[in-house]
Amino acid sequence: MYGSLRQAPGTGSEAGAGAGSGPPGGNRARHRRAALGAASAVGALLLSACSGASDDGNGALPPKPSQRPKSTAPFWVNPDSKAARQVNTYGKDDKAADARLVQRIAAQPVAEWIGIDDPEGEAHGFTEAAAKADREALLVLYNIPHRDCGSYSRGGASDGNAYRAWLDGVLTGIGDRPTTVILEPDALPHIEDKCTPQQFHEERYALLTEAVGKLKGLAHTKVYLDAGNPHWIKDPGRMVEPLKRAGIAQADGFALNISNYQTTQENTTYGKKLSAMVGGKHFVIDTSRNGNGPAPGGDDPENWCNPRGRALGTAPTIRTGDPQVDAYLWIKRPGESDGTCKGGPKAGAWWPTYARELARNADGAKKG
């Protein structure tokens, strides 16, 4: 294990965080992995209320996922996500209570992680489906060479040229459709925590800078670089140089807490300190599983991997109540495993038991 509260197995896998949720209208190639009221109202934003699911105990099945109000969450809800498929399966099996729990995930816009086999087809399929629904696609690019330091999500493109070719496919697929991109989870924090060997640093900075520039060259694309979380790179000042060398000046901002469980409040405090050091850049926070905060044990390096007792966090929204926080997003796909730990399947694999636990625990969660 590397660092404290590592994210990588939670942010991706060789199987994919988005596996099984093929892009409508596109080639269903394998994927790799796979809120916002005013700050004073965040604690009261219950997922059960915004999911549209019935939970009155009368055995009623939830409705099919629909799009969230655009003024609150303009991101696309995939009606064929793994969570939505699970809801359908529970319905066929007359498991209405389980269906209503997983509906709390299926009803929300969750990021789509672009795989390696058909980046153009996947990016086109997701963005086209989002545009047809008058919504914005939320994509994660996670294919940097030497990814994840040999752990659960190890891999990535074979070299810089392979990465550039893959990225070009993504760019063509996105085109001029409105899209928010979370760029390469772990890539910069793993430079700073010395997990990524020194000989790969210059190439990584060059690839990230190119990616930011090309993505921002598209008509309607926003880009956020990953900057870790407050319990990984604890001093935000350590992320300043990596972000600058990776092109933060041209990006829209940075992302925090990807696939982790740190509270929204801690991430906000950390993000504001970091923002002040990088020209006032805005940031987004992954709230997908931080409803109960991190697992007990402080900075135990195993706490990132399928911790029990966690909960869904604040639902995705652009109404954060803070002008520097652009959105609370579900970047990690709730219900997908962090890796083969604590009884979990391989990283990125759908795990219905964990999905139900996250949803069930959300009722009593403080949500950051």
> Per residue in 114-171, pLDDT tens?
999 999 999 999 999 999 999 999 999 999 998 877 555 566 889 999 999 999 999 9
Predicted confidence at residue 107, as pLDDT, reads 98
> Per residue in 206-222, pLDDT tens?
999 999 999 999 999 99
Whether 363 is a known active-site residue: answer no
Structure confidence at residue 6 as a pLDDT band (50, 70, 90): very low
Taking the model in full, what pTM does it have?
Answer: 0.86
Nearest to 70 by CA among 319, 260, 276: 319
Provide the mean pLDDT of the chain.
Answer: 85
| pLDDT tops 60 at residue 37 | no
Q: CB-based contacts of 165: which residues, under 8 Å, 6+ apart?
A: none
Which among 98, 186, 193, 286 is annotated as catalytic? 186
Which among 118, 148, 226, 326 is annotated as catalytic? 148
Structure confidence at residue 60 as a pLDDT band (50, 70, 90): confident
Structure confidence at residue 301 as a pLDDT band (50, 70, 90): low
Structure confidence at residue 300 as a pLDDT band (50, 70, 90): low
**d(C-alpha 78, C-alpha 67), whole Å:** 9
Domain spanning 8-364: CATH 3.40.30.10: no
Whether 186 is a known active-site residue: answer yes
Name which residue leads in pLDDT, 311 or 40.
311
**d(C-alpha 259, C-alpha 262), whole Å:** 9
Which among 118, 226, 326, 338 is annotated as catalytic? 338
**d(C-alpha 82, C-alpha 287), whole Å:** 19
Name which residue leads in pLDDT, 44 or 337.
337
Whether 159 is a known active-site residue: answer no
Domain borders along the chain are: 8-364
| H or E element at residue 224 | strand 221-226
